[in-house]
A = this chain, B = another copy of it.
């Protein structure tokens, strides 16, 4: 496996990209096979990976005629701030796997497209470098670290670098590359590191006793609990967004705890396999929370049509993971910006033909469930 054989990133958008999803098809020419297996694949048997996509396909958009949408726009407010559109970039680590510009280029593309960029704890550029690269608003994605002091240092650095929110990911306390990636021989190459964590020394982990579990007494010993979340909420003045929620009970408890917003997500089918598709969970969670509380949808967005459906079923905005990596791989910052623009135009087309001049007009009445076939 070599990461050097792929062609140099193009200086411009390649021809033939007709929709945002086309970046996925093109990415195969720009990402080496093991890395593509890592990015495209999911956990376990990839049940959730495919269920995420099917969940969108089972909803249909109800078009309307003769509506005047000539003043239409896609502007949204999330966490009190205005965005040109509801498409955000999900936290994606190690972006230098697919492009030498890595997260810094993605952040530039996001800024150009007016999209929020969420820098990962596992970014292959430091959060400070990313913050300097992107002119737009950025959020910082936080993984709780085994030592609270390290977690706190990451928070302080994010605050200092100007990040405007913390996105705490909670659905992956146990994580490893999926089987597809492992079978393809994927490993993070030497030149790509989690730059944010280089300065911290990994904690010494006690060896497990024979009867102890690598899951329960191993990985889960360091996993965050409600107590950790409560601590974090008092430790920072930034709004805390929780990512990785699929349960309505969890959603209610998180709101009650003071979490500013939730990202309904199954980590793109990369955390526990076999869980419900994100879109299904979104409906349940919105029904439990009622209107008003900010919900983002992640996992399964491949088009503006998907964004429309997510908004119709209760999301205020969405996060885009894989497409982000593909667009970066294909055309760098320019590709990221272009992909986002395509997504938005796809969303606008759905809105226009469904008679929705603004995202506030998009509701459950705009979609219907398809018959199983």
Contacts and interface: CB of A to CB of B under 8 A. Distances in A.
Nearest to A178: B18
A215 B345 contact: yes
Number of copies of this chain that the complex holds? 4
Given A65-B244, A216-B357, 5 more contacts: A16-B183, A19-B179, A62-B276, A64-B250, A276-B368
A368 B48 CA distance: 13
A357 to B, nearest CB: 7
A87 interface: no
A363 interface: no
A170 interface: yes
Interface string A135-172: 00000000000000000000000000000000000110
Contacts of A357: 216
A246 interface: yes
A174 B16 contact: no
A234 interface: no
A352 B174 CA distance: 9
Contact of A63 (B247, B371, B373): B247
Contacts of A69: 216, 220, 223
A373 to B, nearest CB: 5
Nearest to A357: B216
